[in-house]
Amino acid sequence: MKKLIVALVVGTLILSGCNTKKTESMNPFLTEYTTPFGVPPFDKIENEHFIPAFEEGMKLQQAEIDAIVSNSDVATFENTIEALDKSGESLSRVNGVFFRLRSAETNDELDSIARVIMPVLTVHNSSIKLNPELFEKVQAIYAERESLDLSDEQAMVLKKTYRGFVRGGANLEGEAKERIKEIDKKLSMLTMQFGDNLLKETNNYQLIIDSEADLAGLPESVRSAAADAAKAADQDGKWVFTLQKPSWIPFLQYAENRELREKIYRAMFMRSNNGNEYDNNQIITEILELRIERANLLGYETHAAFVLEERMSKKAENVYDLMMQIWEPALDKAREEAIMMQEMIDREGRDFQLASWDWWYYAEKIRQEKYELDEEVVRSYFSLETVKEGLFNVVNNLYGLTFEPRSDLPVYHEEVMAYEVKERDGSHLGILYMDFHPRAGKRGGAWSTSIRKAHVKEGKQVTPVHLIVMNFTRPTGDKPALLSFDETLTFFHEFGHALHSMLTKCEYLTVSGTSVATDFVELPSQIMENWAAHPDVLKTYAKHYQTGEVIPDQLIDKLQAASKFNQGFVTVEYTAASILDMDYHTLKEASGLNANDFEEASMKRIGLIDEIIPRYKSNYFQHIFSGGYSAGYYSYMWSEVLDKDAFNAFVETSLFDQATATSFRVNILEKGGSLEEMEMYVNFRGAEPTIEPLLNGRGLN
């Protein structure tokens, strides 16, 4: 393996002139971290360290696997399943840094390293999952599971380990097993390339405005941000808008120049669909073909059937059923909204039909007219700092946690903030990093991810290290970072994932933290949004960035009244993308598929109106073609059924009722994936959820 990696590295010319002996002797990944709490020494990590660290990590894990296989003792949970769960610690250390940087702070060199290491890592992981001697031991233990004295967590670890081998192809033989290896290797490269293409296409676009007249309608804060972006792009005296959400969304909301609105919106939804080197059309077809072939080899008709077997939904029919329960009322609501907007266009004497690039603009105008709700006024009460402190207070009131800034911990970028998380009694719980603003090396969106998962090692608790990454509006001029209310909800959302990771009480990595089905993993995150939007909570943290004035009741009332406005659009664009995802992954054949034609037919079938496009069109649908949500984008809505019902448990008592909070912590957050998801939910709520709270919350019934 070492020769293979070295050859690949030399071939890509990314480490030319590297002194190998010096790199190995000073490589921070190759020894235990000596930093406080064992966090990664970001200040000492160089790109040249990654290849040797990956190489050594794979070598050490292979030695651990060999030891499990060669053990002549009877296979037991401890000497096989537990040993397997705890193997690969050194490899996890470098994984936990490299792939976080690849998402949040990448560069050409890291991209080159990824192209080198991804296929090698895939081969390494496949060699473990397809090791017949190892699987024989796992299978023997699983066959005797009913007679073993296992805890609930151990039983789940055994089940997930066995299922992981089977779903990885361990039962296959001969050519089929070799083909699975090749498919996994190709998929790892294609999904990575999809994301790389999207990031480059996003970064390559700028709408440069040199006439102030073209800024008509834009608030001063949006103009200032665009002027700052222009200065950073060596375009002093001009205004630059990009395809980062904090840039293009305000432009669509406020810019009076319809031609420019169309221009930036088309640039956004045509990303990686322009027939250039960053086009994703062929990649989509290849990914779909390989996923179908892989599913077929494993005995499933479709990729969706393969994926959903391990989800709460279990099968595609159940996903479609939920989506269509939501689709029809949402589409009716969206049609009403479109009529309202067209009436405003006509009243203005404008001679055009509402188009998708008009929706954001007229939705904002109607919001201001109908609810007298000015987004810029709203932002003034949601500075990043006050939202953060408000979030900390909510979590403290619920679970007693505190967050202490730690300037002594190394970070991977100067903007990243580090916090020590402590329990009510002051004991250490974990480390949380937060990275707030867009950069060229950061992919779009917001996410929450583990650098180190909580687990027990040699009888001692290893505490979690977690990272939240976002792309919030930057400070401009003398103004702090002022968040939209949607950005505020996003902050609370991602923090919920962090809590799930931080509060886990699991011993084993296999089930630790967020290691749950994707249609359950959004429950801990989405439930936090309910506190963010509650009037009583808003009064504790929504304060004017200049005066400190608490958000007035009148503005809260307007926010509440407007919360269901435009829900037709919001729900339709999301549900359309979810259905598109399912349509792709219920295919039994994808040869020769054209993504644009397929998407058009899919949306026509469900009756999507021309004025709305799916939240993610195929060529930039990163969740399903580069992330972990293939046949799973519906999960946010499935989890919303859970979160709205779960939050009612607090509403029925009080927002910070300690018994309810403790029950949610103990039965959901601390359990990780150690029990079946519905069992955990019923243990908390006492019954399975219904869809009515979701429909009520969105104003769709």
pLDDT of residue 655: 97
The mean of the pLDDT values for the chain is 94
pLDDT of residue 8: 43
Encode pLDDT of 41-78 as tens digits. 999 999 999 999 999 999 999 999 999 999 999 999 99
- Helix intervals (H) in 168-280: 174-203, 220-232, 245-254, 258-269
pLDDT of residue 25: 62
Does 16 score more than 60 pLDDT? no
Strands 428-435 and 417-422: antiparallel
pLDDT tier at 564, thresholds 50, 70, 90: confident
Angle ∠(163,164,167) on CA atoms, nearest 5: 80
Residues 490 and 488: their CA atoms lie apart, in Å, by: 5
Looking at the DSSP bridge assignments, the partners of residue 452 are 465
pLDDT of residue 458: 94
In angstroms and rounded to an integer, the radius of gyration of the C-alpha atoms of the chain is 26
Lowest average pLDDT, out of 119-123, 366-370, 611-615, 673-677, goes to 366-370
pLDDT tier at 698, thresholds 50, 70, 90: confident
20 or 623: which carries more pLDDT confidence?
Answer: 623
Residue type (1 letter), 608: L
Does 175 score more than 80 pLDDT? yes
Per the rule left: phi > 0, alpha: psi between -120 and 50, beta: everything else, 238 is beta
Give yes or no for a contact between 559 and 485, defined as CB atoms under 8 angstroms apart. yes
Mean pLDDT for 681-695 is 93
Does 22 score more than 50 pLDDT? no
pLDDT of residue 563: 87
245 φ, ψ (degrees, to nearest 5): -55, -40
pLDDT of residue 695: 86
pLDDT tier at 478, thresholds 50, 70, 90: confident
CB-side neighbour CA atoms (13 Å) of 25? 5
Encode pLDDT of 75-126 as tens digits. 999 999 999 999 999 999 999 999 999 999 999 999 999 999 999 999 999 9
Does 697 score more than 90 pLDDT? no
Encode pLDDT of 403-441 as tens digits. 999 999 999 999 999 999 999 999 999 999 999 999 999
Mean pLDDT for 326-350 is 96
Residues 573 and 570: their CA atoms lie apart, in Å, by: 6
Q: Which residues contact 78 (CB under 8 A, 6 or more apart)?
A: none
Q: For residue 324, count other CB atoms closer than 10 A to its CB.
A: 12
Token reading at 656: 């910070």
Task: Say whether 494 is catalytic.
Answer: yes
Which candidate, 188, 198, 190, places its Cα nearest to that of 273?
A: 198
Share of the chain above pLDDT 90, in %: 92
Share of the chain above pLDDT 70, in %: 96
pLDDT of residue 24: 56
Looking at the DSSP bridge assignments, the partners of residue 419 are 405, 432
Note the residue count of the chain: 701
Q: 548: buried, middle or exposed (CB in 10 Å: 19+, 13-18, 0-12)?
A: exposed
Q: Which domains does the chain have, with CATH numbers?
A: 2-171 (1.10.1370.40), 205-269 (no CATH), 271-371+564-701 (1.10.1370.10)
pLDDT tier at 696, thresholds 50, 70, 90: confident
Encode pLDDT of 450-468 as tens digits. 999 999 999 999 999 999 9
Mean pLDDT for 616-636 is 96
Which candidate, 447, 486, 444, places its Cα nearest to that of 620?
A: 444
Token reading at 149: 């004295």
Token reading at 212: 């102030």
Give yes or no for a contact between 145 and 667, defined as CB atoms under 8 angstroms apart. no
pLDDT tier at 375, thresholds 50, 70, 90: confident
Options 55, 64, 286, 494, the catalytic residue: 494
Residues 548 and 544: their CA atoms lie apart, in Å, by: 5
Q: 127: buried, middle or exposed (CB in 10 Å: 19+, 13-18, 0-12)?
A: middle
CB-side neighbour CA atoms (13 Å) of 324? 10
Give yes or no for a contact between 323 and 575, defined as CB atoms under 8 angstroms apart. yes
pLDDT of residue 401: 98
Q: What is the DSSP letter of 447?
A: E
pLDDT of residue 3: 42
